[in-house]
Structure 1
Amino acid sequence: MIEDKHSEFAKHINELQEVLESPYSSEINKGLLEEAEDIEHLNKEIANINPDYMTFLPSYFWYWYFGIAWVYFSAYIFFTIFIGDIFYREPLQDRILLLSIISFLFLFIPSCIPLMLILYQFIKKHAYRTQYYFLKKEQKIAYYYRPSLQFFKPFELKIVDYKDIIPEIHTIKHNTAYTPLNLYIADTNTGEITHHIKPHDVSVDPRVHWAFIRTYMEGDAADLPINPEFCEAYPADTSKSLFACSDIVFRKYGILNTHHSGAGGIVMLIISSIYALGYLLQGNNYQCAEQAILHPDVKKLLTWDGKDNPYPIQPITPEAEKAFQGKNWQVNIRWVVAIAINVSLFAWAALSNA
């Protein structure tokens, strides 16, 4: 009976695409930690790291923004070009008028609803991403879970043993660029997957990502390639300022410094004025992430006293603290101006096509 159970487990695991080495099963390939570009990316994605826990910023998919932009602007252009001809160049007979009204209503829905949903999300701040906390001292992983596309179902706190993780690289046919790291836990009796952790970061080699996680969980602080020039701390709760959260992307790419002092603001202003909606959505992603560390059951697992961090990481500056509290006027004014420019450009485009 025991052999049958193990064979079922092995069969299920063999169905995974590319299983990597399990925790503590072999030596960590230190050569993977020399991939400069990937390590630099992971350093920028770290939200916090200390002797007790490590977490990365939740991933964000830019195609959401472009999809919304495509629906919104394509519907608007279609309306201005074709329906505009009916309104302004043709005599409005009764049937044509009725057709125009119906067409306008059908175009209003796809063109305006996405924007209304975005504004609603900015106000309500529904969580649609989660952070995974790698608890080094406890050798556990804590996170919130909710089934995909079940937006109205509440998140459930999950705490799993790190040693039970089964890492896998999942590839999509004809799309080798999308190779995320997947972390599974399977029931050793039935082989059924009980937990599926998806860091979702497709900007880095998943093997490097896994080697980075293993080095933190299984090795000494000196073995982890942390560059304080890129790796910076973020507040545990970043929910008070959408603008400060939206600044994260500029600081990760080196356009802004980490002090929120205003330097580099002109470059940021030019870029964000064009892509204001996308960057605000990304800030909303950081702002609304479900953070297990705030849960009492996770807090009691954390033992670090906040002193003598062996991992070199930039601290949160007083300017950054003010920014995340929504009290840094340089950050607030910069984003208000960027949004005003973006709205002005859209208004100009609308009037020029009228």
Structure 2
Amino acid sequence: MGGSGANIAYPRGVQVLDESEWRERTTAHEARVDAATAAHLARRRDHRKHPVEDFLFTYYSFKPAQLRRWHPGAGVALAGADRSPHRDWRFYAVEDDRVHVDADAFLAARGDTVRFVRDLLVRTAGRPGRFGCFGLHEWAMVYRLDPSDVRHAGWPLRLGAAGTDAVVESHQVACSHFDAYRFFTPDAEPLNALRPTRESQPALEQPGCLHAGMDLYKWAHKLVPAVSSDLVMDCFELARDIRSLDMRAAPYDLRELGYEPVRIETPEGKAEYAAAQRGFSVRGQALRARLVEAIDAIPGLEAAASGAEAETRVDGEPSRRG
């Protein structure tokens, strides 16, 4: 975006955007976010809920107003600091007429989180993807559950309660993702082939997992403002697309909302689910690489003390999922 003269060489190796360039990027980002959040904000004003589309705003902690703020990322400075809102935002510093991410302050506050996320991303990316779970985590979240306790109780189960339970009982449940497994019903927990924990998360996550793909959005927004808003939104869009498949393959009947079910209880449905899962895995791996690259671009990361005042809590989501 912008003309060839917009990017100015800066002696310290930082890319400097002139004011016209960063304003143009800000406007484009705000329009992108507005389009992605308009329906959710309208429902919120009207006190209406959507079992699929609200998930990214209710489960994850980043709110639409936060998402709408444009951040250039570490290693980029904005000329015209006096006219930039960034000068008043946390983790920014002003130097001469330029404002940029204050990497030292960011790492002092979040260095442990940054290192945890990098390690998780690298280890996940290095494993082969597994594509045989068929989205049974959503079925395990309602297994033998009283209908009044079902998360989306306003929507019917396609196969009814007994049929849903039979699908769980006739398959090997093999969920590797702790933040999905922790919402299994008590009767479903022992049916899972794995016992994921928060501590074992870096050892178990694999790139075929839909929830690991959605969580790239969580890791990206936890790294703001050190990662760019463009990358955060790319992760958001992947999470949004994955969420659609996640709920189409779930036991709920959401056809009234336009979500044609992926019938994972059939061979055809399993094949459809696995094919989509592989496509999301490819997209997720590309975003993991970009996130690691963005982390490695934070100045002073290796030198940051691991014992600094760190925000080490990285889960921090609401107590219900699905």
Do both share a fold (TM > 0.5)?
no
Superposition TM-score, scaled by structure 2 size: 0.27
Larger radius of gyration: 1
| Structure showing the higher strand proportion among its residues | 1
Superposition TM-score, scaled by structure 1 size: 0.25
